[in-house]
Amino acid sequence: MYNAMLAENVTIHGYGGGPVQAYAARPMTPGPVGGVVMIHHIMGLDRMSAEFTRSLAIGGYNAVMPNLYHRDAPDASPDDAMAAMRAAGKLPLPDEQLVGEVAGAVGYLRGLSNSNGKVGVIGHCSGGRQAFLAAVSLKLDAAVDCWGGFVVGDAPEGHPLHGWRPLVERTGELSCPLLGLFGNDDSAPSPAHVDELEAALKQHGKTYEFHRYDGAGHAFMNVDRPAYRPEAALDAWQRIWAWFGKYLTL
């Protein structure tokens, strides 16, 4: 069985039309196949995020992950890039910039010769919030929010997100079905936060599916961290495949 995959750095044109580095992984198949934008977490385009992107390609999707720190820290290692962003007061990334980078990634995926035209988005942690942000800002076909904090509620005073308009207020603009994956031991988002998001989705008649895992907290799919929970992570992967299989295939 021919199962070749290509994974490499590419240049896409994102926020403001400017070039930005991204990590792309694609199955070498004539397809056509759906595409997924992977939004990395605060830790940057690290090993785990790159592996997750390759996993999406192994699952049969063209995947691309913009390097959200590239414009400010080109060629830096992921942790050095994150530290530089933090030192410069540039974390979290402004929402407008995030949407621009994802829009560029969506254009890249839809322009691939084996694209079926369908594109989804997935993100972890800060990327989970940003996946929701992308889904209320762009026309997409599926979204997956992995434990995204501060989609609901106001961040505490002193937190950089304090005073930002809660994204839950934009639930009515959600452009696509949303899969949410959350650990019940997490505090951001807490089970109450997830309840609030779910209520908003119901209120607006949105297509969604939530899975909440006992014994799991923040970042339970992150294999590099003590938070990794294999049972929950394996189930979450099955939910992701089912979701993308339903909404990103013709």
Partner 1 sequence: MCTYLTERISVTGSGKGPSGWFKVTDASVYFDHPVHAPAEHTLNIDFLDPGAGPSARVAVELTADSARALVKAIQATLDSVPPGLV
CB of 46 to partner 1, least distance (A): 8
CB of 41 to partner 1, least distance (A): 8
Q: Which runs of consecutive H residues, i.e. helices, occur in the chain?
A: 47-58, 78-87, 95-111, 126-137, 191-203, 230-247
* Count of residues of this chain found to bind partner 1 when the rule CB under 8 A is applied: 35
Q: Which residues pair with 178 in a beta bridge?
A: 143, 208
* Residue 159 makes contact with partner 1 by CB under 8 A: yes
Binding test (CB under 8 A) with partner 1, winner from 99, 105, 227, 240: 227
**Distances in whole angstroms, Cα of residue 64 to Cα of each of 52, 232, 244:** 11, 25, 15
CB nearer partner 1, residue 50 or residue 58: 50
Give the integer Cα–Cα distance in Å for 196 and 228. Answer: 25
* Residue 80 makes contact with partner 1 by CB under 8 A: yes
Angle, CA of 98, 102 and 105, to the nearest 5°: 145
Name residue, tokens 């992995």: 146
Within residues 11-70, the interface with partner 1 by CB under 8 A covers 41-43, 46
CB of 185 to partner 1, least distance (A): 11
Q: Which residues pair with 24 in a beta bridge?
A: 8, 64
* Residue 91 makes contact with partner 1 by CB under 8 A: yes
CB of 121 to partner 1, least distance (A): 19
> Which amino acid, residue 79?
D
Q: Given the rule CB under 8 A, which residues bind partner 1?
A: 41-43, 46, 73, 76-77, 79-84, 86-89, 91-92, 125-126, 149, 158-161, 186-188, 217-219, 225-227
